[in-house]
Amino acid sequence: MLKVLVLICASSTDPAACDVHSAMDVITTARVNTPQQCGFMGQAMLAPTTLVPDPSKQYMKIVCVRDQVASAH
């Protein structure tokens, strides 16, 4: 299983350096089975929300990480 995370990073943070440790905020949205589902689910979960970062201050990045809870079972 994979966890879909939405990272909110400062616009001064290089996208390659934007991760769970450097993000201003981390939002867990769902658990999925494949990387393809991750990208789709991350975008689908954000589309109907009012979460819109100020592009001069921050940006959003969708990432997938292995779900440690699911892996332990």
Q: Is the pLDDT of residue 70 over 60?
A: no
- Among the listed residues 49, 41, 55, 47, the one whose alpha carbon sits nearest the alpha carbon of residue 8: 55
Residue 44 falls inside a structural domain: yes
Q: What phi, psi does 66 have (nearest 5°)? A: -60, 135
Confidence of residue 69 (pLDDT cuts 50, 70, 90): low
Domains: count for the chain: 1
pTM, to two decimals: 0.77
* Cα–Cα distance measured from residue 29 to residue 4, given in angstroms and rounded to the nearest whole number: 6
List the domain range (segments joined by +) for residue 28.
Answer: 2-67
pLDDT 10s digits, 12-50: 999 999 999 999 999 888 889 988 888 888 777 777 676
Q: Is the pLDDT of residue 10 over 70?
A: yes
4, β-bridge pairs: 30, 64
Residue 73 falls inside a structural domain: no
Contacts of 11 (CB under 8 A, 6+ apart): 55, 56, 57, 58, 59
Residue 61 falls inside a structural domain: yes
Q: Is the pLDDT of residue 73 over 70?
A: no
